[in-house]
Structure 1
Amino acid sequence: MMTLSILENLQRENLNPIEEARSLNLLTQKIGMTHDEIGKSLGKSRSYVSNTIRILALPKEILDLVEDGKLSLAHARTLLAEKDTKKQLLLAKRIINEKMSVRELEYIIYPPSSRKKVKDKNIFVSEIEEKLKKELGNQVKIKTNKNYEGSMTLHFDSIASLEDLISRLSKKTH
């Protein structure tokens, strides 16, 4: 009954992004649904569900700005890349005061000097990272040496996200 109530609430068009994220998170935390199951129930992708829930990791002040419509969901998602809470808050204020675009924010968080490293990476490895990111809905980093020996890192932001990732990877190997 609770599941149906939450799913019906999510299909209302007037939910703000934070209400939606909280409802999605409730389905994972209280009911135990996976991100994939939620996505299928709502006609959304698993990565959409995961990325929406990730927003809740931001400080309350930023969530309030998104909820009040002063900060866009795209800005909030971009702010997740900045791990320092104080810097996130300062950037949020700058976004509002300077009417900063998401592209401008990305330029601050990912300055051109840090992008050069990505461009120097083998195009084949970059394509695999991007393909896995789209497939899994999680950040993927591959580090290799010249002999293509290396490691792969999969990012997750909660125990539910980790469990969902493990579940999906297990299904792909069986």
Structure 2
Amino acid sequence: MATETHGAEALSACVDSHGSAVGMPQLCGDWIGNQVFWLIITLVVIFLILSKIALPRIASVLAERQGTITNDIAAAEELKRKSEEAEAAYQQALTDARTEAQAIAQKTRDDIKADLDAAMAKADADISAKAAESEAAIAEIRNSAMENVEIVAKDTAAAIVAALGGKADDAKIAAAVSNRMKG
């Protein structure tokens, strides 16, 4: 029987004589209205809790995260800009240092070349002076040698003539040696 009476009350088809549910109470057609009512109440309470408490907290956390991300991106862009400026300044300083080093090296080369040219000019002047002195000494030696050759030639000619048994006049020997030396 679908409904039985237990004393003065009528029992539902979903409850047995002892008051226990028969089968699954959720599927009992007599209780569907009650279950829908409590379902709607529960969903409204969950919606109100979520919309008033949980969702604002989640939204604030998401907004805070978005703000942090935005600030971090801005800071990263600022640091990137500063690093690019620092790199450009470094490259400029490096270029300036290389230019200055080349200028210093060129100046040093020019100074060394000027010193070398001055030393070479002094050495050339010293060599020219010594060469002039040497040429003067050689000319003097040549002149004295020519005089000595003439004296030796006169003495030798007189000795040869005397050895051959002749008698030579000093004036004739001097004239003969002078003619021969002239060519």
Same fold by TM (over 0.5)?
A: no
Give the number of the structure whose alpha-carbon radius of gyration is greater: 2
TM-score for the superposition, normalised by structure 2: 0.15
- Report the structure, 1 or 2, having the larger helix content: 2
The one of the two structures with greater contact order (alpha-carbon pairs below 8 A, sep at least 6) is 1
| TM-score, with length taken from structure 1 | 0.15
